[in-house]
């Protein structure tokens, strides 16, 4: 069974189960890097919040032996849990003056998102693109975001330059930077014994290679944190604190790995490492680039090495 047939079968079964209680629709969604995913939306009458349930992993589980009843039960479970969500007033998004304090930016691959970039305002930076989104306050809707398209700028009567200036002002304020050593990152992930932290560290080191010290740079929300490398003064402060220039390895759109340059690393080997990790360890829609960047005291800016 192809995934398109699977999606339609899911739709029919949900319609039978829920009747007029909800409107069921299937959507194909293009994510970062042009990755196409399939979802089912279960919309309840009188609510403007509806669970957008991705079907691709459920399809794989079904293909590997799970029953179709199990698939439907999983979807219904998400639907039942969503019933406690109240509708929220999204009218603020129609008025730029009301939402401009929530405009922030993230970085994505330029080459892998060429089609998307035809439709969204963006600023080129090396082999990346800075794009903009509305970060909806956590108390309203968790970590929900709304990508800003060119037709939004037309609706608001706002220029791309103004959008960029507002985003630069807001991003560091709403998504403050966070720098962790590998050990501290593992302790945040693992809450059990120190042996498990060491095991996770070893797995990380096997993936990223041996280095005297490595650090993870992202933001407090753990959301699109690779953009932190663009914050004014952040890399310079880290360089001063460590006393060394920095290799920057894009581990995902959510964070980067900083490797202090102790003159033992070879940029070509680091590049091979990044390519391998992106191909085997990172979800395709979360890959940033296969490049290696460098920040030095001499130039005071990010350079692309590979």
Q: How confident is the model at residue 140 (pLDDT cuts 50, 70, 90)?
A: very low
Q: Are 285 and 258 in a shared domain?
A: yes
User: Hey, what are 181's tokens?
Assistant: 């050593």
Asked if the model's pLDDT at residue 210 lies above 80, the reply is no
Q: How confident is the model at residue 207 (pLDDT cuts 50, 70, 90)?
A: low
Least confident of 26-40, 158-172, 192-206: 192-206
Give which of 154, 204, 156 is closest to 181, Cα–Cα.
Answer: 204
Q: Are 297 and 185 in a shared domain?
A: yes
Percent of the chain with pLDDT over 90: 62
pLDDT of 146: 87
- When divided into structural domains, the chain yields a total of 3
Percent of the chain with pLDDT over 70: 83
Q: Are 120 and 158 in a shared domain?
A: yes
Asked if the model's pLDDT at residue 213 lies above 50, the reply is yes
Asked if the model's pLDDT at residue 305 lies above 80, the reply is yes
Q: Are 183 and 294 in a shared domain?
A: yes
Q: Are 224 and 108 in a shared domain?
A: no
Domain boundary, last residue among 143, 174, 205: 174
Range among 6-20, 47-61, 188-202 with highest mean pLDDT value: 6-20
- C-alpha–C-alpha distance, residues 58 and 68, integer Å: 9
pLDDT of 200: 47
Give 193 or 268, the one with higher predicted confidence.
Answer: 268
- C-alpha–C-alpha distance, residues 291 and 249, integer Å: 7
pLDDT of 137: 63
Q: Are 182 and 263 in a shared domain?
A: yes
Q: Are 131 and 193 in a shared domain?
A: no
Q: Are 153 and 272 in a shared domain?
A: no
Q: Are 166 and 181 in a shared domain?
A: no
Rg of the chain on CA atoms, in Å: 22
Distance of alpha carbon 188 from its chain centroid, rounded?
Answer: 19
Q: Are 205 and 295 in a shared domain?
A: yes
pLDDT of 144: 75
pLDDT digits (tens, 9 = 90+) for 89-124: 677 788 999 889 999 999 999 999 999 999 999 999
pLDDT of 136: 80
Q: Are 259 and 274 in a shared domain?
A: yes
Q: Are 119 and 196 in a shared domain?
A: no
Q: Which domain holds residue 291?
A: 177-304
Domain boundary, last residue among 65, 82, 99: 82
- C-alpha–C-alpha distance, residues 149 and 131, integer Å: 9
Half-sphere exposure of 141 (CA within 13 A, CB side): 15
The chain-wide mean pLDDT, for the chain, equals 86
Domain boundary, last residue among 174, 197, 219: 174
- HEC sequence for the chain: CCHHHHHHHHHHHHHHHHHHHEEEEEEEEECHHHCEEEEEEEEECCCCCCCEEECHHHHHHHHCCCCHHHHHHHHHHHHHHHCCCCCCCCHHHHCHHHHHHHEEEEEEECHHHHHHHCCCCEEEECCEEEEEEEECCHHHHCCCEEECCHHHHHHHCCCHHHHHHHHHHHHHHHCCEEEEEHHHHHHHHCCCCHHHHHHHHHHHHHHHCCCCCCEEEEECCCCCHHHHHHCCCHHHHHHHHHCCCEEEEEEECCEEEEEECCCCCCHHHHHHHHHHHHHHCCCHHHCCCCCCEEECCCCCCEEECC
């Amino acid at each position: 069974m192809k995934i398109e047939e699977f999606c339609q079968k899911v739709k029919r079964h949900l319609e039978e189960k829920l009747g007029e209680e909800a409107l069921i629709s299937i959507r194909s969604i293009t994510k970062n890097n042009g990755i196409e995913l399939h979802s089912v939306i279960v919309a309840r009458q009188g609510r403007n919040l509806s669970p957008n349930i991705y079907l691709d992993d459920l399809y794989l589980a079904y293909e590997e032996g799970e029953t179709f009843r199990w698939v439907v039960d999983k979807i219904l479970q998400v639907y039942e849990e969503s019933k406690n969500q109240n509708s929220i007033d999204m009218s603020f998004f129609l008025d730029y003056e009301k939402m401009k304090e929530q405009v922030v930016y993230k970085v994505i691959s330029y080459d892998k998102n060429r089609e998307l970039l035809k439709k969204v305002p963006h600023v080129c930076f090396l082999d990346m693109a800075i794009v903009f989104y509305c970060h909806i306050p956590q108390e309203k809707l968790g970590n929900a975001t709304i990508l800003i398209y060119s037709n939004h700028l037309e609706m608001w009567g706002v220029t791309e330059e103004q959008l960029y200036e507002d985003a630069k002002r807001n991003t560091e304020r709403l998504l403050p930077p966070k720098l962790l050593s590998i050990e501290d990152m593992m302790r945040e992930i693992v809450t059990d014994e120190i042996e498990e932290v060491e095991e996770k560290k070893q797995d990380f080191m096997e993936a990223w290679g041996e280095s005297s010290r490595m650090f993870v740079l992202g933001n407090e929300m753990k959301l699109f944190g690779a953009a932190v490398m663009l914050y004014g003064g952040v890399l310079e402060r880290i360089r001063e604190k460590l006393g060394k220039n920095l290799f920057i390895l894009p581990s995902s759109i959510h964070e980067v790995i900083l490797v202090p340059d102790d003159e033992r690393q070879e940029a070509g080997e680091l590049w091979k490492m990044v390519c391998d990790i992106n191909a085997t360890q990172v979800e395709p829609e979360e890959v940033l680039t296969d490049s290696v960047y460098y920040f030095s005291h001499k130039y005071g800016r990010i350079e692309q090495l590979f």
